[in-house]
A and B are shown apart, each in its own frame.
Chain A
Amino acid sequence: MGTHLFRCRPRIRTLLLLSLFLLPSCATVDYLPPRQGTSAELQAILAQSLEGNLKEIGFDPAGKTVDIKVRALGGHQTPQGLEKYVKSLLQEWTVRKGGKVGPGEWRMDVFLPVLGSSATRRELSYQNIPLYYSERFRATCQLVVVVRDGEGTVAGIWRAGKGGDLADIYLMRILGPFDKPF
């Protein structure tokens, strides 16, 4: 029966192959995700890079009262949230190291000229079926910390620029994601 099945007229065989080729394609608009705000992966990679950059600050706040001011350019709709988040991170960092946060002798100006991400999509596909598909997120963070003493003299300037990198790899859009942190 199996061999008989393929011994048909070339016209029928062509028709069958054509229908097999055309019908499985699905002409619909791709799913457009609803506004989800900042994605979970993006938040994670930004938070990681911020925490990594704090380790680069060489100032020792032990026994000092530090007034912290944060200014961010940020890719967010308004940088207020980011500024408050970073201030809270620095507050915990200062207290952990034996310092205090509030109006006092020392002043710490923190600038975040860059905190953002870029995404690169790669795919190797055939007939809309990607054999290999990957999304790579890269976070870029630049942190500048200026510490001044009570007289306004700069006690130190620290620059940090640790980023983050994360890639999700899919095979044939069905297998995966295989996370590949760089």
Chain B
Amino acid sequence: MKSKSLHRQLIGWSFLMVLILFLASSCATKRYWGPSMGRSADSQSTPANALEKAMKAANFEAYKGKTLWVEVYTLTDRTGEESAEERFLRSWLAEKISAQGARMAQSKAQADVLLDVKARVFGVHQTRRDFIPLVYMESTQGIVDLHLTFYERESGKILQTEDLKGEARYLEYYILYMIGPFKSIE
């Protein structure tokens, strides 16, 4: 009777040990080998999604048939005169404006309307969270906050101002540092 109980206890302990060995020693961590990987895919996709959301509210119908000149200003890093974000935003906006019936001017002097876009925010905010060893998460939040000012080129007067905001979140999480990644996009 006593040996049966001891046997059962040993099996219980062995099972527990194997379970701990299997689950607790696993380790999944998202890695980045810089600088050759450049800007990560998460850091590119989330602001692009946030921009898409922000642009849903944009309406350029009032400028149908007119020519616009777009200037973009951001607080982002740069090595030259124009940052990658500025170039991307300018082209994206030009596309949206053209789709709604307005035309892009060849030069500033040829434009009817000057559109100044100040990007208060165009970037990402990344957070790592872990609760060792149960959960490990990488959250990338893309944030876009644009302030648009439309000027009449000749008079220099403000025709319209508009604020466009958008946020997108990409979450990747691992359970027990082993199972995953589970992905969610908001």
Contact = CB atoms under 8 A, between A and B. Distances in A.
Interface residues of B, number: 68
Given A82-B75, A95-B151, A19 B21 contact: yes
B118 interface: yes
A102 B78 CA distance: 27
Interface string B119-135: 11111111111111101
Contacts of A155: none
A81 B75 contact: yes
A19 B20 contact: yes
B75 A20 contact: no
Interface stretch (B31-39, B52-60, B93-101): B31-39
Interface residues of A, number: 57
Contacts of A92: 116, 118, 149, 158, 161
A16 B124 CA distance: 43
B122 A43 contact: yes
**B30, B38, B120 interface centre (most CB from chain A within 10 Å):** B120
Interface in B39-91: 39-40, 43, 71, 73-86
Interface string B133-170: 10100100111010001010000111001000000000
A34 B76 contact: no
B73 A81 contact: yes
B104 to A, nearest CB: 19
Interface in A1-31: 1, 4-5, 8, 12, 16, 19-20, 23-31
Nearest to B127: A177
A107 interface: no
A40 B74 CA distance: 11
Contacts of B142: 40
A138 interface: no
B24 interface: yes
B146 to A, nearest CB: 11
Contact of A43 (B39, B76, B79): B76
Interface string A116-153: 00000000000011000000000000000000000000
Contacts of B157: 95
Contacts of A12: 13
Contacts of B38: 34-35
Most chain B CB inside 10 Å of its own CB: which residue of A47, A89, A100: A47
Interface core residue of B39, B116, B124 (most chain A CB under 10 Å): B124
A76 B82 CA distance: 13
B5 interface: yes
B110 interface: no
Contacts of A102: 156
Interface of A: 1, 4-5, 8, 12, 16, 19-20, 23-41, 43-44, 46-48, 76-78, 80-82, 84-85, 88-89, 91-92, 95-96, 100-102, 128-129, 170, 172-174, 176-177
Given A23-B25, A38-B76, A82-B75, 9 more contacts: A16-B16, A30-B128, A40-B123, A40-B143, A81-B86, A85-B118, A91-B116, A128-B132, A129-B132
